[in-house]
Structure formats: structure tokens, C-alpha cells
Amino acid sequence: MPTIDKHAKISLERTGKDYQSIHEWIDDPEKKAERHDITKIYEYGKIIEKEYGKEGLEEYIRHLHDDVKAKFEHIQHDLEKAIAETLAYFGVK
Ligand SMILES: [Zn+2]
């Protein structure tokens, strides 16, 4: 998944603001799992919107989106590698 700095860079390119504190809050190592829980978007989203406005809310959701995308691309890569290795093991071409 993208690093905090990478998320901040993406926000900066998209909005002109890096929203570093939002990305640090989401990726806080102690609370990382609950802050990436999409069932909490409504609850956390209200808090973030109150403090950072609509654009901050969008950057919070975008962070989750970018993490999901990166994670599944990684899973896909690992799966394709495992399939290729298994087919090669059995001599399947
Ligand atoms: Zn994250």
C-alpha cells in the first residue's frame, strides 16, 4: 500500500494540499486496521469532514480507495506468480 508520503503527494497533486495529517491519522500503526475499515467511513467521515471539509473527506475516502487498489494489485501479482510456478512445476506449458 502507498506510504504516507505517497498518499500526501497524491493529495497534493489532486487538490493543492497534502492532507498529511489525515494520511498520518489513517495509517497510525496502533489504529491502522480500524481506520481502514470501510464500515466506519460514515462515522469517521463525519469527524474528518467537520475538521477538514468536503475535500478532506474526499481525500480520506481516496486514501482507502488507493490502498484497496494497491493491495489487490499485489495479491493479483502474487497469485499470478504462484500459478505460473505451479504450472511450471507440473510441466504444464
Ligand atoms: Zn492506508
pLDDT at position 73: 98
pLDDT at position 1: 86
Measured distance CA(31)–CA(78) in Å, rounded: 27
pTM, entire model:
0.90
- Encode pLDDT of 25-57 as tens digits: 999 999 999 999 999 999 999 999 999 999 999
How many whole angstroms from 45 Cα to the centroid of ligand 1? 15
| Signed CA dihedral, 33, 38, 40, 45: sign only | positive
How many whole angstroms from 93 Cα to the centroid of ligand 1? 39
Q: Which residues contact 28 (CB under 8 A, 6 or more apart)?
A: 35
